[in-house]
Structure 1
Amino acid sequence: MILDPEEWMDLRRFRVLHEAGVSINAIARETGHDWRTVKKYLSAEGAVVPKAPPRKGTQPRKIAKLAPVVDAWLRGDIELKAAVIHERLVDQYGFDGHYQRVKMYVAEVRPRIRAELGLDDDKLFGLHRRFEVVPGGQAQVDWGDEGGILAHVGIAKVYSFHMVLPYARDPFCCFTISQDLATFFDCHRRAFEHFGGASATVVYDRTKTVVKRHVGPGKAVPLRPEAVAFASSYGFDIDVLAAYRPQGKGRVERQVDIVRDHVLAGRPFGSVTQMDTAFQGWVPIRRRQVHRTHGEVIGERAAKDRAALIPLPEHPYRVVERHLRRAGKDCLVSFEGSLYSVPARHIRPGQQVEVRVAQGEIAIHHLDEATGGDSLLARYQRADVRGSWVVDEAHWDGLADGHTRSVTTADEPDHLGRPDAVEVQPGSLDVLLARTAVARIPVSRRPLADYDLAAGLPMPGVN
């Protein structure tokens, strides 16, 4: 028996009331229908409520026409995020659909494409092991790029160096204008002094200041000799993460965002020193907080961490980065876009010198090829602003400085001899003529008749 939709709506109401124990007469009074009609519908056999037709697939999806593009991108990089895909679709194809539609489509097709690429054999994909460390057992290191926060004072880019003791989440941060080798390990020295010791292990990603070159999965990572020497001096082991495994140092990566939000956001700065001071002022606030993960006060847990650290060596290890440069004819050596002077009496034009960078200092050395030795030419603080001139005026002693050059308003050069002064009347033509030395050269005066005689002309009064 098939009924029209309106009758079926009432039928569903009748059945619910009847199954609840309500009599047919009570249902009739409640619904306003005759009791015979109610009984008729309740006793109808084989009555089935008609189902609405499925809506899935009836509406075209905006992502459908760009599905081949998305599939190709995922085949190129199966881990490409839906947010990135949506951004590129909008930029390159004018896609006007919502991000959630792209996200749903990517979630739908990613397993299929993984299977096509033969990547579905790893049943543990996307999972990672959670780890905890003992006090003093580990430190995690990372860089942050703070961009042009000091561009208004001529510093193009600022970087933040972060080290965190993960047992307590005890942070250290300092700000630099370079990420070179010497700066990197000088930041380590400052961090260890801040904590009062070194951890047993320091965890890095595959940064070029630690890793000599990249290798394939499962192979031993070659370390830079400067990194090995520094680690040996402080007594810690170097732990380099596998490629694309940020989970291994997630606590320091989280710290990068925390420092930006709590230290840098909404504050003006005029120098790197001011930024360091701001962080040091925030550290006591951080240490008074209860961490949401381990549930203890960070400062109290940090005391256990620091007590287990390796004591610092008596003398800090200096990592020196060396660069070869040539001295110019102006006795200046260019490094990182800035110029540093060297003494003129100890170099020759175009001579090769060695620039050694360590802990914010620039030392310029002369290399003796014959003996293999070297000698210090100059030492400076490293310039903060690119394009600076760092010059010691004493380095130019003995060079021509132009003090013998002179100019004069005299009428003639000294070697010609100064003619006797000619008295002239103000306002006369002689005033103008006397301004040049040529006009003041004395000449002989002769009668005009002498010129007529020389020309063979008849003399007046002579027959």
Structure 2
Amino acid sequence: MDIAALKRSGHSIRWIARKLGIHRKTVKKYLESNSFPAYHRKDIKPSILEPYHQIIRDFLDEDEYQATWILTRIKRMGYSGSYDTLKVFVRSIKEQKRRIAYQRFETEPGLQAQVDWGDFKVVESTGKTTTLYAFVMVLGFSRAMYVEFVERCTLEVFMDCHLRAFRHLKGVPAEILYDNMKQVVVGRENGRPVFNTEFLHFARHYGFTPRLCPPYSPWVKGKVERPMHYVRESFWRGYGFHSLEETNQDVAAWIAETAHQRIHGTHRQQVQARWEQEQPCLGVLPPSEYDTSLKYFRKVYKDCLLSFGGNRYYVPYQEAGRKVLLKVKAGVIRIYHDDELLALYQIPELKGQTIGIPDKPPPRTPRQTPRYGQDRGKATRGLTTGTLYPEVYRRPLEEYDRYAAGGAPWNS
């Protein structure tokens, strides 16, 4: 545009080139052209690191690995470039991650809760270290919480903790956010999560929708990550552990007297008052509780035994050949046919045991050798004799000689 304006003012090509600091041929080219100059990118040779870009990003999504650690792995995959090339790329990815900002979001009353596990170490008087696990559920709107310490993180315990949390929080949220814990997700198929079937039945019974965080994204469920740290610092630090039952009583008192009485740093209101505001928006508990026993089907064999967990259990002889339902909870196994309880056993600690006393079956009536009666195989018997061995008319051989000689007709 400057070239065209100066030319319209009557200046020569040489003067315009000197004025703008460009070559005369450049001035002439754009005076003769009707288009604007455009930048044309030259073909750039692809980087030797380019085939490994996604692999490196996946590594850095897992953790902030050093470039030297990544170099060792990708060299095994065939990378032949230099360390400096890798270092520059790793540094750029880490800087991008540090510049990411996350928007804080608040949920409506009764909409969402978040759940997580936390591990807590206990040093016994003998010096032995054991681990307890804290189940924490936090309501997203009010930040009201339920905390329970358990010894194991089984699916049965996980569902029981939900039951007690719903009762304590006086309702069920519309959805609950989890990370990819094994009690909720059993695997992935084509990138999609596969939920635990038993837990899906549990969620349907109570009317909430389980939601999942993206992998390696703890900030998504920050409403429970921060309270977990609060439990560690405010309740657990300096606490003297004596028994699991006493600890759960103490943490319940701490929640009522301390955690729910504080002014929360985000919504600047008392948690207790905010919780009372949220309670009418929570879902109502169903009239009957979900049976959180673990359920299995097993076949009863001819010896009236079924196999489960490395042991064998007797059931009534009437169930031989059938499939029965096993409900396992708190170390007790209950065996059902439909809704009829057949047997109840305590699960032994040792394997290879045969549990129970076999029922004495009724005495068998002696079975007679099958004989052909009047109602079986009539088509195979004689037409007049009613037997497989019909009587045949017997003639002396002299008569047959007479027939052969023509002394009597054959059809007589």
1:131 and 2:105 equivalent?
yes
Specify which of 333, 339, 351 is matched with residue 363 of structure 1. 333
Distance 1:357 1:173, change over 3 A: farther
Residue 309 in 1 paired to residue 279 in 2? no
Unmatched 5+ residue regions in structure 2? 1-55, 70-82, 360-412
Cα distance, 1:147–1:354 mapped onto 2, change above 3 Å: farther
SS in 2 for 1:78: helix
Q: In 2 relative to 1, CA 284–373 (structure 1 residues): closer, same or farther, beyond 3 Å?
A: closer
Letter in 1 for 2:162: H
Deviation for aligned residue 1:257: 2.1
Whole-angstrom distance in 2 between the partners of 1:321 and 1:252: 28
CA-to-partner distance for each residue in 1:231-276, whole Å, 9 max, x for gaps? 1111111111111111111121222222222333323333221111
CA contact (8 A) 2:144 2:271 kept: yes
Asked if 2 retains the 8 angstrom alpha-carbon contact of 1:202 and 1:237, the reply is yes
| Higher Rg of the two aligned structures | 1
Match of 1:197 among 154, 157, 171: 171
Find out whether 1:246 has 2:218 as its counterpart. Answer: yes
Asked if 2 retains the 8 angstrom alpha-carbon contact of 1:263 and 1:278, the reply is no
Deviation at 1:76, TM superposition (A): 8.5
- Counterpart pick for 1:159 among 130, 133, 147: 133
How many angstroms apart in 2 are the aligned matches of 1:78 and 1:114? 14
Task: Return the letter of the residue paired with 1:357.
Answer: V
Cα separation, 2, equivalents of 1:366 and 1:152: 44
Question: CA, structure 1 residues 343+292, in 2 after alignment: closer, same or farther (shift >3 Å)?
Answer: same
Q: 2:139–2:145: 8 Å Cα contact kept in structure 1?
A: yes
* Offset from partner CA, 1:203-239 (integer Å, 9 cap, x none): 01111211131356xx442222222211111111111
Is the counterpart of residue 378 in structure 1 residue 326 in structure 2? Answer: no
After TM superposition, the score normalised by the length of structure 2 is 0.55
Structure 1 match to 2:245:
273
Task: Give 2:226's aligned amino acid.
Answer: R
1:318 to 250, 274, 291: 291
Aligned residues of 1:175 and 1:275 also touching (Cα < 8 A): yes
Shift of residue 201 of structure 1? 0.9
Q: What TM-score do the two structures reach when normalised by structure 1?
A: 0.50
Match of 1:171 in 2: 145
* Cα distance in structure 1, aligned partners of 2:336 and 2:328: 15
8 Å contact kept, 1:353–1:364: no
For residue 165 of structure 2, what is the amino acid of its counterpart? A
- What residue number does 2:369 align with? none
Deviation at 1:121, TM superposition (A): 11
Indicate the SS of the match to 2:60: coil
| Moved >4 Å (runs of 4+) | 79-82, 109-112, 116-125, 148-156, 323-327, 339-347, 352-355, 372-375, 395-398
Other structure's SS at 1:202 match: strand
Q: Which residue of 1 aligns with 2:272?
A: 299
CA distance in 1, matches of 2:110, 2:328: 31
Q: Residues 110 and 311 (structure 1 numbering): CA distance in 2 closer, same or farther, change over 3 Å? A: farther
Aligned length: 284
CA distance in 2, matches of 1:344, 1:230: 29
Q: Give, in whole Å, the separation in 1 of the partners of 2:175 and 2:84.
A: 38
Equivalent position amino acid for 2:204 in 1: S
Which of the two has greater strand per residue?
2
Counterpart CA distance in 1 for 2:194 and 2:248 is: 33
Alignment of 1:35-434 (within 5 A): 77-78=59-60, 113=87, 115=89, 119=93, 126-148=100-122, 156-215=130-189, 219-285=191-257, 286-322=259-295, 356-358=327-329, 360=330, 362-365=332-335, 375-379=341-345
Residues 295-304 or 119-128, more deviating: 119-128
What secondary structure is seen at the aligned counterpart in 2 of 1:194?
helix
Task: Check 1:305–1:152 CA distance in 2 against 1; reply closer, same or farther (3 A cut).
Answer: farther
